[in-house]
Amino acid sequence: DTGVSQDPRHKITKRGQNVTFRCDPISEHNRLYWYRQTLGQGPEFLTYFQNEAQLEKSRLLSDRFSAERPKGSFSTLEIQRTEQGDSAMYLCASSSTSGGYNEQFFGPGTRLTVL
Amino acid sequence: QQQVKQSPQSLIVQKGGISIINCAYENTAFDYFPWYQQFPGKGPALLIAIRPDVSEKKEGRFTISFNKSAKQFSLHIMDSQPGDSATYFCAASRDNFNKFYFGSGTKLNVKP
Protein backbone atom coordinates (compact mmCIF):
# COMPACT_ATOMS: atom_id res chain seq x y z
CA ASP A 1 0.00 0.00 0.00
CA THR A 2 1.58 3.30 -1.08
CA GLY A 3 -0.88 5.64 0.62
CA VAL A 4 -0.30 8.03 3.50
CA SER A 5 0.57 6.21 6.72
CA GLN A 6 0.45 7.46 10.30
CA ASP A 7 1.87 6.07 13.49
CA PRO A 8 0.65 5.33 16.07
CA ARG A 9 -3.00 4.82 15.22
CA HIS A 10 -4.06 5.32 18.81
CA LYS A 11 -2.37 7.06 21.72
CA ILE A 12 -3.61 7.32 25.28
CA THR A 13 -1.65 9.61 27.55
CA LYS A 14 -1.98 11.40 30.83
CA ARG A 15 -2.40 15.13 31.04
CA GLY A 16 0.95 16.89 31.10
CA GLN A 17 2.82 14.25 29.11
CA ASN A 18 4.44 14.88 25.73
CA VAL A 19 3.40 12.92 22.66
CA THR A 20 4.81 12.65 19.14
CA PHE A 21 3.06 11.45 16.01
CA ARG A 22 4.61 10.46 12.71
CA CYS A 23 3.28 10.80 9.17
CA ASP A 24 4.75 9.20 6.05
CA PRO A 25 3.30 10.83 2.92
CA ILE A 26 2.95 9.36 -0.55
CA SER A 27 6.56 9.19 -1.71
CA GLU A 28 6.50 11.70 -4.57
CA HIS A 29 4.32 14.25 -2.77
CA ASN A 30 6.07 17.49 -1.82
CA ARG A 31 3.25 19.01 0.23
CA LEU A 32 2.30 17.65 3.66
CA TYR A 33 -0.57 18.90 5.80
CA TRP A 34 -1.67 18.32 9.38
CA TYR A 35 -5.31 18.65 10.42
CA ARG A 36 -7.15 18.02 13.68
CA GLN A 37 -10.63 16.53 13.81
CA THR A 38 -12.84 16.43 16.87
CA LEU A 39 -15.91 14.23 17.17
CA GLY A 40 -18.71 15.28 14.87
CA GLN A 41 -16.70 18.02 13.18
CA GLY A 42 -14.79 18.46 9.97
CA PRO A 43 -10.99 18.51 9.97
CA GLU A 44 -9.37 21.81 10.96
CA PHE A 45 -6.08 22.92 9.45
CA LEU A 46 -3.03 23.00 11.72
CA THR A 47 0.03 23.44 9.50
CA TYR A 48 1.58 22.50 6.19
CA PHE A 49 4.97 21.96 4.60
CA GLN A 50 6.35 22.17 1.12
CA ASN A 51 9.35 19.88 1.12
CA GLU A 52 11.06 20.69 4.44
CA ALA A 53 9.78 24.27 4.71
CA GLN A 54 6.86 24.96 7.05
CA LEU A 55 4.79 27.46 5.08
CA GLU A 56 1.84 28.16 7.35
CA LYS A 57 0.71 27.54 10.90
CA SER A 58 -2.83 27.94 12.18
CA ARG A 59 -3.62 30.00 15.24
CA LEU A 60 -4.95 26.68 16.59
CA LEU A 61 -1.32 25.57 16.82
CA SER A 62 -0.35 26.85 20.25
CA ASP A 63 3.22 27.05 21.50
CA ARG A 64 2.81 23.51 22.86
CA PHE A 65 2.56 22.17 19.31
CA SER A 66 5.51 21.78 17.00
CA ALA A 67 5.84 20.09 13.64
CA GLU A 68 8.85 19.18 11.55
CA ARG A 69 9.62 17.67 8.20
CA PRO A 70 13.40 17.51 8.41
CA LYS A 71 14.28 15.90 5.09
CA GLY A 72 11.18 16.72 3.14
CA SER A 73 9.86 13.21 3.54
CA PHE A 74 8.16 12.09 6.78
CA SER A 75 6.84 14.59 9.29
CA THR A 76 6.39 14.59 13.06
CA LEU A 77 3.87 16.48 15.17
CA GLU A 78 4.74 16.91 18.84
CA ILE A 79 2.40 18.09 21.56
CA GLN A 80 4.03 19.11 24.80
CA ARG A 81 2.28 19.18 28.18
CA THR A 82 -0.88 17.65 26.76
CA GLU A 83 -4.27 18.90 27.93
CA GLN A 84 -7.64 17.16 27.84
CA GLY A 85 -8.71 19.56 25.09
CA ASP A 86 -6.02 18.09 22.85
CA SER A 87 -8.02 14.86 22.59
CA ALA A 88 -8.85 14.51 18.90
CA MET A 89 -8.00 12.69 15.71
CA TYR A 90 -4.83 14.07 14.13
CA LEU A 91 -4.87 13.66 10.38
CA CYS A 92 -2.02 13.95 7.93
CA ALA A 93 -2.50 14.54 4.21
CA SER A 94 -0.15 14.91 1.27
CA SER A 95 -0.35 16.29 -2.24
CA SER A 96 1.84 16.98 -5.24
CA THR A 97 2.14 20.46 -6.72
CA SER A 98 3.01 18.92 -10.08
CA GLY A 99 -0.45 17.47 -10.48
CA GLY A 100 -2.25 20.71 -11.22
CA TYR A 101 -5.00 20.08 -8.70
CA ASN A 102 -5.08 20.31 -4.92
CA GLU A 103 -5.79 16.62 -4.41
CA GLN A 104 -4.94 15.96 -0.78
CA PHE A 105 -4.76 12.30 0.22
CA PHE A 106 -5.37 11.60 3.87
CA GLY A 107 -3.89 9.01 6.16
CA PRO A 108 -5.93 6.97 8.66
CA GLY A 109 -5.18 9.40 11.49
CA THR A 110 -3.84 9.13 15.02
CA ARG A 111 -6.52 9.19 17.69
CA LEU A 112 -5.23 10.91 20.84
CA THR A 113 -6.95 10.51 24.17
CA VAL A 114 -5.68 12.64 27.04
CA LEU A 115 -6.79 11.40 30.47
CA GLN B 1 -16.49 32.30 11.43
CA GLN B 2 -16.98 29.06 9.57
CA GLN B 3 -15.73 29.46 6.00
CA VAL B 4 -17.82 26.61 4.58
CA LYS B 5 -21.31 25.82 5.84
CA GLN B 6 -22.74 22.36 5.22
CA SER B 7 -26.26 20.97 5.52
CA PRO B 8 -28.00 18.84 6.54
CA GLN B 9 -26.17 17.49 9.57
CA SER B 10 -27.68 14.06 9.00
CA LEU B 11 -29.62 12.41 6.20
CA ILE B 12 -31.60 9.20 5.91
CA VAL B 13 -32.30 7.88 2.41
CA GLN B 14 -33.88 4.67 1.15
CA LYS B 15 -31.80 2.35 -1.01
CA GLY B 16 -32.03 3.48 -4.61
CA GLY B 17 -32.91 7.04 -3.68
CA ILE B 18 -31.00 10.28 -4.28
CA SER B 19 -28.90 11.78 -1.49
CA ILE B 20 -28.30 15.54 -1.68
CA ILE B 21 -25.86 17.43 0.52
CA ASN B 22 -25.39 21.17 0.27
CA CYS B 23 -22.54 23.55 1.01
CA ALA B 24 -22.20 27.31 0.91
CA TYR B 25 -19.14 29.55 1.09
CA GLU B 26 -18.40 33.26 1.34
CA ASN B 27 -14.82 33.65 0.11
CA THR B 28 -14.89 34.27 -3.64
CA ALA B 29 -11.17 33.48 -3.78
CA PHE B 30 -11.90 29.79 -3.28
CA ASP B 31 -11.05 27.93 -6.48
CA TYR B 32 -11.17 24.23 -5.64
CA PHE B 33 -14.07 22.37 -4.06
CA PRO B 34 -13.62 18.69 -3.13
CA TRP B 35 -15.96 16.27 -1.43
CA TYR B 36 -14.59 13.69 0.96
CA GLN B 37 -16.14 10.48 2.30
CA GLN B 38 -15.19 9.23 5.75
CA PHE B 39 -16.02 5.91 7.39
CA PRO B 40 -15.76 5.50 11.18
CA GLY B 41 -12.16 5.19 12.32
CA LYS B 42 -10.76 6.03 8.89
CA GLY B 43 -9.27 9.11 7.31
CA PRO B 44 -11.27 11.09 4.74
CA ALA B 45 -11.10 9.78 1.17
CA LEU B 46 -11.40 12.06 -1.85
CA LEU B 47 -14.64 11.37 -3.69
CA ILE B 48 -14.96 14.02 -6.37
CA ALA B 49 -13.87 17.64 -6.85
CA ILE B 50 -14.77 20.64 -9.00
CA ARG B 51 -13.29 23.98 -10.01
CA PRO B 52 -15.48 27.08 -10.47
CA ASP B 53 -15.09 27.17 -14.25
CA VAL B 54 -17.64 24.35 -14.64
CA SER B 55 -21.17 24.07 -13.27
CA GLU B 56 -21.36 20.30 -12.96
CA LYS B 57 -19.08 17.30 -12.72
CA LYS B 58 -20.18 13.69 -12.74
CA GLU B 59 -18.26 10.58 -11.77
CA GLY B 60 -20.30 7.41 -11.72
CA ARG B 61 -23.17 7.84 -9.26
CA PHE B 62 -21.67 11.01 -7.79
CA THR B 63 -22.33 14.49 -9.19
CA ILE B 64 -21.22 17.91 -7.99
CA SER B 65 -23.41 20.86 -8.95
CA PHE B 66 -21.77 24.27 -8.63
CA ASN B 67 -23.48 27.66 -8.57
CA LYS B 68 -20.82 30.35 -8.62
CA SER B 69 -23.21 33.31 -8.36
CA ALA B 70 -24.95 31.82 -5.31
CA LYS B 71 -21.64 30.60 -3.84
CA GLN B 72 -23.12 27.18 -3.32
CA PHE B 73 -22.24 23.66 -4.34
CA SER B 74 -23.86 20.32 -3.71
CA LEU B 75 -23.18 16.61 -3.88
CA HIS B 76 -25.78 14.31 -5.40
CA ILE B 77 -25.51 10.57 -4.88
CA MET B 78 -27.73 8.73 -7.32
CA ASP B 79 -29.07 5.22 -6.65
CA SER B 80 -27.83 5.43 -3.05
CA GLN B 81 -26.62 2.13 -1.57
CA PRO B 82 -26.17 0.96 2.04
CA GLY B 83 -22.41 0.95 1.37
CA ASP B 84 -22.62 4.72 0.85
CA SER B 85 -23.50 5.13 4.53
CA ALA B 86 -20.70 7.36 5.81
CA THR B 87 -19.97 10.95 6.77
CA TYR B 88 -19.46 13.34 3.86
CA PHE B 89 -17.47 16.56 4.05
CA CYS B 90 -17.32 19.38 1.58
CA ALA B 91 -14.23 21.55 1.52
CA ALA B 92 -12.78 24.56 -0.25
CA SER B 93 -9.33 25.97 -0.86
CA ARG B 94 -7.82 28.99 -2.58
CA ASP B 95 -4.61 29.87 -4.35
CA ASN B 96 -4.08 26.29 -5.42
CA PHE B 97 -2.49 23.70 -3.16
CA ASN B 98 -3.46 25.67 -0.10
CA LYS B 99 -5.09 24.33 3.05
CA PHE B 100 -8.68 23.09 3.02
CA TYR B 101 -11.56 24.64 4.90
CA PHE B 102 -13.97 21.82 5.68
CA GLY B 103 -17.69 21.84 6.31
CA SER B 104 -19.02 20.29 9.50
CA GLY B 105 -20.05 17.05 7.81
CA THR B 106 -23.22 15.17 6.89
CA LYS B 107 -23.85 11.71 8.28
CA LEU B 108 -25.63 9.71 5.59
CA ASN B 109 -27.58 6.57 6.44
CA VAL B 110 -28.90 4.58 3.48
CA LYS B 111 -31.65 2.19 4.58
CA PRO B 112 -31.81 -1.18 2.80
B18-51: per-residue pLDDT in tens? Answer: 999 999 999 999 999 999 999 998 999 999 999 9
Contact call for A106 and B93, based on CB within 8 A = no
Q: Cβ contacts (< 8 Å) between A45 and chain B: which residues?
A: 99-101
CB–CB of A45 and B34 under 8 A? no
Position A101 scores a pLDDT of: 75
Angle CA A103–B36–B112, to nearest 5: 145
Burial A53-79 (b: 16+ CB within 10 A, else e): eeeeebeebeeebebebeeeebbebeb
User: Which is nearest to B84 in space by CA: B112, B64, B65, B58?
Assistant: B112
Neighbours of B53 (CB within 10 A): 8
In this complex, the residue of A42, A93, A101 whose CB is nearest that of residue B49 is A101
Instruction: Decide if A104 contacts A47 (C-beta within 8 A).
Output: no
How high is the pLDDT of residue A28?
87
Contacts of A109 in chain B (CB under 8 A): 42-43
Interchain pair A97, B46: CB under 8 A: no
What mean pLDDT do residues A90-106 have? 88
Where residue A49 falls among pLDDT bands split at 50, 70, 90?
Answer: very high
Is the Cβ–Cβ distance between B103 and B23 less than 8 Å?
yes
| Among B42, B100, B101, the residue to mutate for chain A (most A Cβ within 10 A) | B100
Q: pLDDT grade, residue A104 (50/70/90)?
A: very high
Instruction: Evaluate if residue A60 carries a pLDDT over 90.
Output: no
Q: What is the pLDDT of residue B96?
A: 66
pLDDT attached to residue A1: 55
Residue A80: pLDDT band with limits 50, 70, 90? very high
When comparing pLDDT for A11 and A61, which is higher? A11
**Cα separation, A93 vs A23, whole angstroms:** 8
Mean of pLDDT values over A74-100: 93
Give the rounded percent of residues in chain A with a pLDDT score beyond 70. Answer: 98
Which residue among B34, B42, B104 places its CB closest to the CB of A108?
A: B42
pLDDT at A71: 87
| Mean pLDDT computed over every residue of chain A | 93
pLDDT of residue A97: 84
Sign of the torsion formed by the C-alpha atoms of B26, B86, A99 and A9: positive
Res. B2: pLDDT tops 90:
no
Q: What is the pLDDT of residues B56-103, one digit of tens each?
A: 999 999 999 999 999 999 999 999 999 999 999 999 998 767 899 999
Among A104, A106, A112, which would you mutate to test the B interface (most chain B Cβ atoms within 10 Å of its Cβ)? A104
CB pair distance less than 8 Å for B99 and A105 = no
